[in-house]
Amino acid sequence: MLDDLYPGASELEGRTIREIVALAMDAPAAAKSGHSGTAMALAPLGVTLFSRVLRHDPTAPEWPDRDRFILSCGHASILQYGLAHAFGYDVDAEDLRSFRQPHSKTPGHPENGVAPTVEVTTGPLGQGIANGVGMALAERMLRAQFGSQLVDHRVWVLAGDGCLEEGISHEAASFAGAQGLDRLTVFYDDNHITIDGPTELASADDTAGRFRAYGWHVIELGESANQPDVLEAAARSAIEETTRPTVVILRSHIGFPAAAMMDTREAHGSPFAPNVISDAKSVLGVPDHGFVLDPALPAANVTNLLARQHERIGWYERVGAAGEEGHHLHAQLESNGALRSSVLASPFEPGAMVATRKALQRAMDTYFPASQGISAGSADLTDNTGVVLKGTSPQSRREPGGRQIYYGVREFAMGAMLVGQALHGGLRPIGSTFFVFSDYMRPAIRMAALSHASALFVFTHDSIGVGEDGPTHQPVEHLMSLRAMPRLHVVRPSDANETLDLVQRYLAKSHPPATALVLSRQDVAVLGGEDARASAEGAHRGGYVVREDAAARFTLLGTGTEVVQCLKAHDALAERGISTRVVAMPCWECFEEQSADYRAAVLRRDLPSVSLEAGATLGWERYVDAAIGIDSFGLSGPGPYLFEHFGLNADALVRHVSERLGE
């Protein structure tokens, strides 16, 4: 009997589950790639959440106070697309037939902004959990700011064995437990299968004990993956828990009800054979044809969600009745927490010696009071990186409105939490650490760039100038590594005032790109006069001419603290009768967005050129004829000594230019 498969499901829910399970086989088979088994096993859970639990409205997918649903095990994307279609979102039958095909709404892993219901881009396992923690943080901060009448929703995450094996899940879960993020619920699909085979090959974790140790509410459901009433009861229990996050541990059978594939590793990532699909459809009681989609099903599910539509309408009415506060909420959500004031930070005096990381702290002192959207923190380096938010309390369960976030030594999870906050809306999250530790968070930075998340990653101690800490803490290849990432803006300001300017511009934009702001530990002279004017006019364009002699014979290019060294070399060469140009390039990605004419005028490739940067030289060949940098690991010693030792100074530029010109 059909009821024996999914006991407790309503007639409509049963039809929906069976259609999605069949789709989970048909779509990968048609695409000749994809993951059927997990989507099949989790279809009852997905339908239960969408039908009975989630606060959502298919007629208004972007409703700000909706619950957030995250499929951390993104390989099961066909489940999310099937749910979106069956519940009346804008995913039609043709979209499902185009699963994993170019330019479709249904790519191989969920991508936010492509299909409705996809809140974050998932695929690399574990990050969805940390994204969910970030979204739960955002909800709590906004609820504290505007009140529960205007902000009152939850975050639901579906995760699998791979998500929990990845180290980021440990970082994120530990943080969420310490913070008591009670609006977060993670359903853990304990199906005992990975691509290599049984999970026991590599893992013997006590998952329930682990999460209890983190301070989570733990619900162990056992063999209940096909029982909507049990699944709903677990979700309701999570909602009733008001002091801590919840994990629901669910034992499912991958590939159910395809007997030939159940509980096998092949069910994880291999399309099913036609005979296996036919046998499974016979058990399901659905037609043995590909993509049999009931055209009446979406409308029926939308009708079943009328109460959720009334919740949405009531929310808009409350926002309207809230007057100025409601207006501020709308503005903050639409602008992603952009600055609402034209206030500018006080500039530093020309010639003063100021590390660019110290300029960031002045920016925070100025712009945090002028913005309701900033949240900021670090991976245990708050004072060192300049992200102290004065006038706010540390974020915690006791201070839910606090915007100072202490992420602990958890760079990877911090990065993914920033992505979650940014994509939630209403906030402008900032996270910081030493530049060398960007390696720990690189996968999250990549996902930020891929998903257009307006997150600001602040990296200080940007070079061998770190000094005595030695090569373990001295970033060398990191600038080029991050510059290779599409869409990421890697910004290394020339001085303190340029830092203030670029931070203000970033915070004032409604949807800035994911940005890595790379700042110095060592002091650098603040530009003055015409040099400062050139910075103010051109830094936001990614590259600009700082100085240009009328009879220039050579171009010197630099970034960060090395721009001042280029200026010193310009003066020294002038004393020898050699006229040069100096170009600063704080952001390559921004520079590439400028017109070809502008780029050509800045670079002047008709002249010989050389770059100076305290990092790897790889990549500079696109802009210069020669590059002076550091292509080895650093050394433990005072920063000034190291710059001399590795030849990262004006003298090296003077020698190069003199030799190149034969003078």
pLDDT at 640 over 90: yes
pLDDT in tens, 119-147: 999 999 999 999 999 999 999 999 999 99
In sequence order, which residues have a C-beta less than 8 Å from that of residue 119 and are 6 or more positions away? 68, 69, 70, 112, 131, 135, 423, 424
pLDDT in tens, 595-629: 999 999 999 999 999 999 999 999 999 999 999 99
pLDDT at 1 over 60: no
* Other beta carbons less than 10 A from residue 404's beta carbon: 21
- Contact in structure between 277 and 23 (CB atoms under 8 Å): no
In percent, the amount of the chain with pLDDT more than 90 equals 97
How does 236-262 read in b/e, with b if 16+ C-beta sit within 10 Å? eebeebeebbbbbbbbbbbbbbbeebb
Domains of the chain: 2-308 (3.40.50.970), 353-525 (3.40.50.970), 530-660 (3.40.50.920)
| Separation between Cα atoms, residue 282 and residue 276, nearest integer Å | 10
Which residue of the set 13, 411, 498, 589 is catalytic? Answer: 411
pLDDT in tens, 402-411: 999 999 999 9
Task: Take residue 72 and report the two structure tokens written for it.
Answer: 């951390």
Active site residue 468: no
pLDDT in tens, 321-369: 999 999 999 999 999 999 988 899 999 999 999 999 999 999 999 999 9
Q: What is the CB-side half-sphere exposure of residue 66 using CA atoms within 13 A?
A: 21
pLDDT at 489 over 60: yes
Task: Take residue 164 and report the two structure tokens written for it.
Answer: 């929990």
Confidence bin at 372 (pLDDT 50/70/90)? confident
pLDDT, residue 3, reads 62
Least confident segment among 1-15, 556-570, 606-620: 1-15
Q: Give bridge partners of residue 406 from the DSSP assignment.
A: 378
pLDDT averaged over every residue in the chain: 97
pLDDT in tens, 45-77: 999 999 999 999 999 999 999 999 999 999 999
pLDDT in tens, 76-92: 999 999 999 999 999 99
- Contact in structure between 512 and 506 (CB atoms under 8 Å): yes
